[in-house]
Amino acid sequence: MNKISILLSFIFIYLILPLSVFSQSRNRNYEEYITQYKSLAIEQMNRYKIPASITLAQGLLESGAGKSGLSVKSNNHFGIKCGGDWDGRSVSQTDDAPNECFRAYSHVRESYEDHSKFLRFKPRYSALFQLNITDYKGWAHGLKKAGYATDPQYAYRLINIIELYGLDKYDTKSEIKWTKKNIETHQPYISNDLLYIVARSGDTLKKISEEFDISERKLRKYNDLYKGYVPSEGDIIYLEKKNSRASKDNIVYVVRGGDSMHSISQRFGIKLKNLYKLNKMSEDDATPAAGTIIRMR
């Protein structure tokens, strides 16, 4: 074999080797996981506006394609820790520290749903929802920046998985079913450690319930509202049960003109009945006079 033939052989091997390595690097467990859960990821994208590619990549990475101990024994596919607001089942597992508390679910679907709500309703992730649904790189880097994971290479790991398995195809327009009116979602805020939104003109409890997958009945109960109530622009609408008292830095409140016991309870995230009880008042005192001092805790 002459020198030119040898050189051409080396060039051929150099060019074809990466393709061979690339094809071998695809993991069958990953492919099976994608087949099993892609529809669930797309469903979550349509509901919560999180790219399906990101959800699948996180699920694959965090759960080891559903094979990790945490995912097997607790159906937790996203490594979500308990946090102060979790009152469901939990399991202990060593992660950044020994015996950390992780959320446990009855079914994988619950894990996907909780992951979506975790991102959608935590203020530190709110900037992600300003990104284009197809900007998986922006989402990956945004998740790392917001503190989802401590691994410095976390964003690049997600991007590599998405590109290796072509997961970005699930973010295309053919998979996105929501209408224009649903793109303008409400921004969640926090008061007294509670999630709430601010009602806009034209809002109804039905629309809000559909957007956040919370029944109208629960919304009325959470916000001490009567059946048939129509929100006004600027109204605070809580997405979870209000607390029994205000936060520690709100001990008392001085009533202003136009205040009502209900508006005060909404402003500070206190159940209306508890606010009456704290102040030894009845429902007949629904609009206390300006200057009245109201106990908040």
Q: Are residues 228 and 257 in the same domain?
A: no
* Residue 36: inside a domain: yes
Predicted confidence at residue 10, as pLDDT, reads 41
Predicted confidence at residue 24, as pLDDT, reads 44
Predicted confidence at residue 152, as pLDDT, reads 92
Predicted confidence at residue 177, as pLDDT, reads 54
Predicted confidence at residue 238, as pLDDT, reads 93
Q: Are residues 161 and 192 in the same domain?
A: no
Q: Are residues 202 and 284 in the same domain?
A: no
CATH of the domain at 209: 3.10.350.10
* Residue 217: inside a domain: yes
Q: Are residues 51 and 140 in the same domain?
A: yes
Q: Could you read off the pLDDT of 81-119 as tens digits, one per residue?
A: 888 778 888 898 877 678 889 999 888 889 999 999 889
Residue 100, CB half-sphere, CA atoms under 13 Å: how many?
Answer: 14
Strand residue runs (E) in the chain: 90-93, 100-103, 189-191, 194-198, 236-238, 252-254, 293-295
pLDDT for 124 beyond 70: yes
Predicted confidence at residue 175, as pLDDT, reads 62
For the question of whether the overall pTM of this predicted structure is more than 0.85, the answer is no
Q: Are residues 71 and 118 in the same domain?
A: yes
Total domain count for the chain? 3
Predicted confidence at residue 25, as pLDDT, reads 72
Q: Are residues 222 and 152 in the same domain?
A: no
* Residue 1: inside a domain: no
Q: Are residues 34 and 129 in the same domain?
A: yes
Q: Could you read off the pLDDT of 128-152 as tens digits, one per residue?
A: 998 999 999 999 999 999 999 889 9
Q: Are residues 141 and 273 in the same domain?
A: no
Task: List residues bridging with 252 in a β-sheet.
Answer: 295
When the pLDDT of each residue in the chain is averaged and rounded to a whole number, the result is: 85
Domain hosting 113: range is 24-79+107-171
Mean pLDDT to the nearest integer, 162-176: 85
Q: How many CB atoms lie within 10 A of CB 170?
A: 23
* Residue 244: inside a domain: no
Q: Are residues 276 and 165 in the same domain?
A: no
Could you tell me the pLDDT band of residue 174, with boundaries at 50, 70 and 90?
low
CA distance 188 to 142: 18
- Token pair, residue 243, equals 């607390």
Last residue of a domain, one of 138, 171, 204: 171
Could you tell me the pLDDT band of residue 8, with boundaries at 50, 70 and 90?
very low
The residue type at 109: R
CA distance 243 to 6: 77
pLDDT for 259 beyond 60: yes
Q: Are residues 278 and 213 in the same domain?
A: no
pLDDT for 224 beyond 70: yes
* Residue 156: inside a domain: yes
Q: Are residues 208 and 274 in the same domain?
A: no
* Residue 73: inside a domain: yes
Q: Are residues 232 and 259 in the same domain?
A: no
**Sign of torsion, CA 253 258 261 262?**
negative
Predicted confidence at residue 190, as pLDDT, reads 77
Predicted confidence at residue 261, as pLDDT, reads 95
